[in-house]
Amino acid sequence: MGLAHSEIDDLVLTTQNNLIKRGAFVDMQTDLTDHVGVREIWKSRQKKFSGGVNWEFQLMMDHNHSARTVGMFETDGSALTDTMKKGEVSVRHLNANYIYDQREKDFQRGGHAIVDLIKTRYIGMMISWFELLEEILWSKPENSADTKTPYGIAYWIVKNATEGFNGGNPAGFTDGRAGISSTEYTRFKNYTAQYAAISKEDLIRKMRRASRVTNFRSPVSHATPEVGKMSNGIYAGDTVIGLMEEILEKQNMSLGNDVASKDGKTLFKGTPLTYAPKLDADTTDPIYMIDWKCLVCGVMEGWENNLSKPEPVPGKHLVRRVDLDASLNLVCTDPRRMSVFSKAV
C-alpha cells in the first residue's frame, strides 16, 4: 500500500534528519580521490561571523616613525600618522538541491525503498556541493566583476617568480585582496619563490628560508585577529609529494622490506606534507605553506549548512525540491605568514 503525499514529504524530512545510514552502493561520482580543501578548511576551520554581510578586520600597516636620537633642550617633533587600514570581505552564497516526484515507484513500495531513494538523492546533492566547494577553495574568482564566487587559496596566496614577499594583488583584482592594494601597502604580500628542482638544494632550501622569514613576532604584546586555530599546513600535488618521499627515503638507512615505507610520512619542520588531489591539475606544481591561525573559512551565523524541508516546485505540484544553502568566504588577516612555491607563475 502506498503512502499519502503528505506522508511522503514528512518521511523525506525525517530521513534527512536521521543522517540516513541504510543501503550500500559503489560511489563513482567524482574523479578526486580526496577532497582535502573540504576536510581541512570547510569541515575543520569554520568561524562564525555575525553582524551584516561584510566582515571587517583591522591592520596596522606601519609605526609612527617618531623614535629618534635627541640632545638636551632640543625642540620636540610631533606629527599624527594614520597607520590603520581596514580589510573587508563580502559574504558569498552556495546552493545545491535535489528533487523527487511523489509518484515515484519507491514511494509506493515504502520501507527501505524510500530510505534508499532519498539517501541516493541526498548523497548526489552533497557530492555536487563538495565538488564545487573543493574547486572554489583552491582557486579564485576570475576577477573583481565576479561577485558570486567565494575567495579561495589562490586569491589570498598569490604566486610570483621572484623569491621574497612578492605575492601581491591577484590577477583581475587591481584594488587588492579585501580592498587592500599590495601596491600601496607593500607589507600586505605573501612569500613566493620559483623552483626548478624538488631537491634539498632548490625547493627545500627555499621552503626553509620562507619558514624563517614569515615567522613574525611583535616586540609589543597586543591583541591580534587570529581568526583560526594555532597550526600550520603544507599542501601539494602528487608530483611534489612523490619526489619528497623519495628524498626522505634516501636519508634513511634502515627502510626494511617496504619499497614505499615513507609514503604518507613526509614532514617539513614537524608539519606533514598533505596530498591535495585538486592541485594535480595545476601544471605549476605549487606547494602552499599556510599558517592556519590567520586563514579561516568564515560562515554567516545561522547559514552554515541549511537543509530545507521539501517544498513544491512551481508548476509541478507533485514534485518536491530540497535545498542546501550556506553563506561563506575565506578570510586571511595576514598574507605575510603564507608562502607559495611553484615551477612557473
Highest mean pLDDT among 16-25, 27-36, 236-245, 249-258: 236-245
Find out whether 153 and 128 touch, Cβ atoms under 8 Å.
no
Kindly report the number of other CB atoms within 10 A of residue 132's CB atom: 15
DSSP symbol at 320? E
Measured between alpha carbons, how far is residue 40 from residues 94, 251, 295 in Å?
18, 30, 11
Q: What is the pLDDT of residue 234?
A: 96
Residue 20: pLDDT above 50? no
Find out whether 5 and 102 touch, Cβ atoms under 8 Å.
yes
Least confident segment among 5-19, 133-147, 156-170, 192-206: 5-19
Sole residue written with cell 612557473: 344
Task: Supply the mean pLDDT for the chain.
Answer: 85
- Write out pLDDT tens, residues 93-146: 999 999 988 877 766 566 566 667 778 888 899 999 999 999 999 999 999 999
Least confident segment among 18-32, 111-125, 295-309: 18-32
Residue 162: pLDDT above 70? yes
CA distance 155 to 137: 9
Closest CA to 236 of 130, 155, 339, 129: 339
CA distance 184 to 78: 24
Residue 34, classed as helix, strand or coil, is coil
Residue 316: pLDDT above 70? yes
5-24+32-60+89-342 CATH pick, 1.20.1280, 3.90.1690, 1.10.10, 3.30.1490: 3.90.1690
CA distance 266 to 277: 16
What number is the average pLDDT over the span 242-257?
Answer: 79
Sole residue written with cell 592541485: 279
Q: Which residues contact 223 (CB under 8 A, 6 or more apart)?
A: none
CA distance 303 to 328: 8
Q: Where are the domains of the chain?
A: 5-24+32-60+89-342
Q: Which residues contact 236 (CB under 8 A, 6 or more apart)?
A: 244, 273, 274, 275, 276, 279, 285, 286, 287, 288
Residue 268, classed as helix, strand or coil, is strand
